[in-house]
Amino acid sequence: MKKLLRFGIAGGMGFIVDAGVLMLLLHTTPIGPFIGRLIAIALAMATTFVFNRTFTFERSGDSLAAEGFRYGSVGITAALVNYGLYSALLLSMPDLQPLAAMVFATAAATVFSFFGYSRFVFREK
């Protein structure tokens, strides 16, 4: 339960970074919601990696590079699910606000992320 709570905190931090960067880019640059979201997801992924590696999961005992590669593999897969759903929502419902699409897409990718990170990235030896 402690891991799940900490994962939720990490995810909340990642969500704040994701949403904050997306909104900042949309309101201060000509970058649209699709490119802006790619940048936001990358920064959120870096944020959650640091928190998850430090506080949520025990380090696996592997090198930072090995953990980073596995984290990136799970993270990129989750990000593709997240971004794909986000894009599909925006394209199919043009009046939908990007932040609302982000909320739905992020929720869908969260379960996959937890199991991937806990079972594959930071697994105990």
Per-residue pLDDT of the chain (125 residues; tens, 9 = 90+): 788 898 889 989 999 999 999 999 999 999 999 999 999 999 998 898 888 878 887 666 777 788 788 888 888 899 999 999 999 999 999 999 999 999 999 988 888 888 887 777 776 65
d(CA 92, CA 82): 15
d(CA 37, CA 23): 9
d(CA 24, CA 90): 18
CB-count burial class (<10 Å; 0-12, 13-18, 19+) for 102: buried
| Count: domains in the chain | 1
Q: Is the pTM of this model over 0.85?
A: no
- Which residues constitute the domain of residue 46? 2-121
